[in-house]
Amino acid sequence: MHLHAIDWIIVAATLLLCFIPALFFGKRAGKSTSEFFASGRSVPWWLAGISMVATTFSSDTPNLVTDIVRRNGVAGNWVWWAFVLTGVATVFFYARLWRRSGVMTDLEFYEVRYSGKAAGVVRAFRSVYLGLFFNCMIMAAVNLAACKIAGILFGLPRWQTLLGVGILNVVFATHSGLWGVLVIDMFQFFIKMTAVIAAAYFALKLPQVGGLHGLVEKLSAPAANGIHYLNILPDFSNRMDIAIAVFIMPIAVQWWAVWYPGAEPGGGSYIAQRMLASKSEKDALGAVLFFNIAHYVLRPWPWILVGLCSLIVYPQLSDIQNAFPNLDPSLLGHDIAYPAMLKFLPVGFIGLMVGGLIAANSSTILTHLNWGASYLVHDFYRRFLKKDKSEKHYVRAGRIVTVILFLCASSLTFVLESAKDTFDIILQIGAGTGLLYLMRWFWWRINAWCEVVAMISSFAVSIAFLILRKNGIAFGTHNALLITIAFTSVCWILTAFLGPKTDRSVLVEFYKKVRPFGPGWNRIKKEEGIVEPATRAAGENIPMALLGWVSGCTVIWSALFTVGNFLYGRMHLALALFGVFAASGLVLLYVVNKIWKKDPEVV
């Protein structure tokens, strides 16, 4: 693809707009690890929320959605739409608790909530496991998407793409810390949204598509494989296998049982990092609420429309290969259909899209570099290896680790094949532990050994399934997931009752500091004589949180499907869904106003 001079000017302008402001935060980021990894705990809700949205809008996200649409239709997106349940639960059950904990990283939580050697073991293991191995897997997937896009647009080999984005990302991640990441996120989110809306608009304008009316007309009938590509809900009568995979399992099990970055049960990873960096509990709650609305309502349809258009323009993968004969065959997959559609952008918009995709890659990679470095430095190096060094020493260590992380992720990029494959791998790795992460805030019996047992049992079951598969005994993906969840849950629940208990002094201190609501701490409160003001019940309790959770999920899904049915031209259904959105929105505002009041301290 040839870029004109105006395209290159726009690319340069978008990158300068995104990255130059971040340079001014280098001095502030270098003061301490709190500034480098948590922005001094002074981030307003709107900046934290935009950053959450921007981070999850990476260069591989449009590719992933396009892959899903081409394989399973619009309804296939329930594999991630189901995480609305997780995200909104974080808003009403966990955001304020995370901010009250006062930890710098979510892994530091382990030694605030638990006692004994097991707490340190869990913190050390997960700092390396998540900060290095898991984190590099995610960054490799993002870089793979960048390589595919660069291969389509410019014919670049992987190493050249990785070199280019590596220099840009490593320089800014090491220089400006989390403050720089937040500022870059703020600018690039609006640039990327403009670019993807433009991509959808020009895809619909293609003669072979014929606008929204032509798109709906051409894809309304079921395809040869039985898939109704436009359906928002899966076909429960003819393709039950797809319905189970993309709807029933995600809604019934996956959202609470699987740990996935950005949609962790109970919050975690870079979502927790933003909550912990927020300047107040209100800002933490507002940031996560804004993130979930923007993440699921504002962004999906431009990607989905391009994915649907690609089914008309490139019905088969061979059509993409014919259109791009110089494309590396190892990069060919359904996810590459998105960058293949970008060839139809006019002059100027190509530059905006390229600049937006570079910024999208940087937004996600910068976050993961800073997040991973915080685990490896704060939760491993500082906690277990070098405990008495200066703040500048740890900041320097964070910058060195940042470089190492990118090199490791770049190496892994060469062995991945598609964004969807990586998504599935990450879900499988995180299977079975989600319920523990939801319950550990609200039930005093959960101890550090529950976390150890959950990790070991989940890993053991995964290895067992791998060995069986190698010997010709294959379980279905969903059966394997259910067995893993059941076995892991039984193991850690038994450990909660039979294993060593957390020291009573740690439990009391944790409760007074974090103030989790619900009956799970009644025994501790009663035995220790902890008294709560009566006003506590009016603002923060399980019924109110459940009402906020249900109304919040309803707002997001109804708004998402209102937009979809409006685009399809189904006005009566769109208006009905808009009515649901308005009614649930009023309930949501009521709940937010109730819990927004400052909660008094317990004594």
Which range scores top for mean pLDDT: 106-110, 307-311, 465-469? 307-311
Specify whether 424 is located in the same domain as 455.
no
Specify whether 313 is located in the same domain as 342.
yes
* Predicted TM-score of the model (pTM): 0.84
**Distance in angstroms (rounded) separating the CA atoms of residues 224 and 247:** 21
**Distance in angstroms (rounded) separating the CA atoms of residues 166 and 358:** 11
Please classify residue 337 by burial: count the beta carbons closer than 10 Å to its beta carbon, then call 0-12 exposed, 13-18 middle and 19+ buried: buried
CA 125 vs. chain centroid, Å, equals: 22
In a domain, 315, yes or no: yes
| DSSP structural state of residue 236 | T
Structure tokens at 463: 């290895």
Predicted pLDDT at 32: 83
CA 521 vs. chain centroid, Å, equals: 30
Whether the per-residue pLDDT at 573 is higher than 60: the answer is yes
Predicted pLDDT at 600: 47
Whether the per-residue pLDDT at 417 is higher than 70: the answer is no
| pLDDT confidence bin for 208, thresholds 50/70/90 | very high
Whether the per-residue pLDDT at 578 is higher than 80: the answer is yes
pLDDT average, residue stretch 81-106: 88
In terms of pLDDT, which residue wins out, 157 or 525? 525
| pLDDT confidence bin for 429, thresholds 50/70/90 | low
Q: Pick the last residue of a domain from 409, 430, 451.
A: 430
Mean pLDDT of the chain: 85
Specify whether 311 is located in the same domain as 271.
yes
Of 121-125, 172-176, 595-599, which range is least confident? 595-599
Whether the per-residue pLDDT at 563 is higher than 90: the answer is yes
In terms of pLDDT, which residue wins out, 281 or 509? 509
Q: Pick the last residue of a domain from 386, 403, 430.
A: 430
In a domain, 502, yes or no: yes
Predicted pLDDT at 542: 84
CA 227 vs. chain centroid, Å, equals: 28
Structure tokens at 238: 């003819």
Whether the per-residue pLDDT at 470 is higher than 80: the answer is no
The residues near 589 (Cβ < 8 Å, ≥ 6 apart) are none
In a domain, 573, yes or no: yes
Whether the per-residue pLDDT at 503 is higher than 60: the answer is yes
**Distance in angstroms (rounded) separating the CA atoms of residues 144 and 419:** 8
Contact predicate 276/99, CB 8 Å: yes
Predicted pLDDT at 547: 93
In a domain, 196, yes or no: yes
Whether the per-residue pLDDT at 538 is higher than 60: the answer is no
Specify whether 420 is located in the same domain as 436.
no
**Distance in angstroms (rounded) separating the CA atoms of residues 78 and 106:** 28
Predicted pLDDT at 412: 79
Task: Give the torsion through C-alpha atoms of 375, 381, 384, 390, to 10 deg.
Answer: -120
In terms of pLDDT, which residue wins out, 257 or 198? 198
In terms of pLDDT, which residue wins out, 267 or 548? 548
Q: Pick the last residue of a domain from 507, 530, 553.
A: 530
Cα Rg, the chain, nearest whole Å: 24
Specify whether 548 is located in the same domain as 588.
yes
Specify whether 457 is located in the same domain as 342.
no
Specify whether 277 is located in the same domain as 373.
yes
Contact predicate 79/250, CB 8 Å: yes
Predicted pLDDT at 462: 75
Specify whether 320 is located in the same domain as 457.
no
232 phi, psi to nearest 5 deg: -80, -30
The residues near 147 (Cβ < 8 Å, ≥ 6 apart) are 156, 158, 161, 162, 331, 413
Specify whether 511 is located in the same domain as 391.
no
| pLDDT confidence bin for 311, thresholds 50/70/90 | very high
Token pair 């293949």 in the structure block, residue: 340
Contact predicate 11/355, CB 8 Å: yes
In a domain, 3, yes or no: no
Looking at the chain, the whole-number percentage of residues with pLDDT higher than 70 is 93
| pLDDT confidence bin for 263, thresholds 50/70/90 | confident
Name the residue among 401, 331, 410 with its Cα closest to residue 372: 401
Of 13-17, 53-57, 471-475, which range is least confident? 471-475
| pLDDT confidence bin for 601, thresholds 50/70/90 | very low
Three-class SS of residue 278? strand
Whether the per-residue pLDDT at 603 is higher than 70: the answer is no
In a domain, 309, yes or no: yes
**Distance in angstroms (rounded) separating the CA atoms of residues 30 and 35:** 7
| pLDDT confidence bin for 114, thresholds 50/70/90 | very high
CA 126 vs. chain centroid, Å, equals: 18
Whether the per-residue pLDDT at 262 is higher than 70: the answer is no
Predicted pLDDT at 68: 92
Predicted pLDDT at 431: 64
Contact predicate 299/560, CB 8 Å: no
Specify whether 137 is located in the same domain as 253.
yes
**Distance in angstroms (rounded) separating the CA atoms of residues 167 and 160:** 11
Please state whether 212 falls in left (phi above 0), alpha (psi between -120 and 50) or beta.
Answer: alpha
Predicted pLDDT at 535: 44
| DSSP structural state of residue 258 | B
In a domain, 6, yes or no: no
Specify whether 447 is located in the same domain as 317.
no
258 phi, psi to nearest 5 deg: -115, 135
Three-class SS of residue 43? strand
Whether the per-residue pLDDT at 602 is higher than 50: the answer is no
Three-class SS of residue 431? strand
**Residues paired with 43 in a beta bridge:** 278
Of 177-186, 198-207, 248-257, 457-466, which range is least confident? 457-466
Predicted pLDDT at 539: 58
pLDDT average, residue stretch 360-375: 86
Domain count, the chain: 3
Structure tokens at 451: 């976390």
Contact predicate 64/420, CB 8 Å: yes
Whether the per-residue pLDDT at 424 is higher than 60: the answer is no
CATH code: domain of residue 203: 1.20.1730.10
pLDDT average, residue stretch 581-586: 96
Specify whether 571 is located in the same domain as 512.
no
Whether the per-residue pLDDT at 599 is higher than 70: the answer is no
Predicted pLDDT at 537: 46
Contact predicate 69/304, CB 8 Å: yes
Instruction: Please give the residue range of the domain that contains residue 199.
Output: 11-430
82 phi, psi to nearest 5 deg: -60, -25
Whether the per-residue pLDDT at 416 is higher than 70: the answer is no
In a domain, 503, yes or no: yes
Q: Using N-to-C axis directions, what is the helix angle for 349-374 and 158-204, rounded to 10°? A: 130
Of 102-116, 216-230, 457-471, which range is least confident? 457-471
Helix spans in 335-390 (H): 337-341, 349-374
Whether the per-residue pLDDT at 387 is higher than 60: the answer is yes
Three-class SS of residue 210? coil
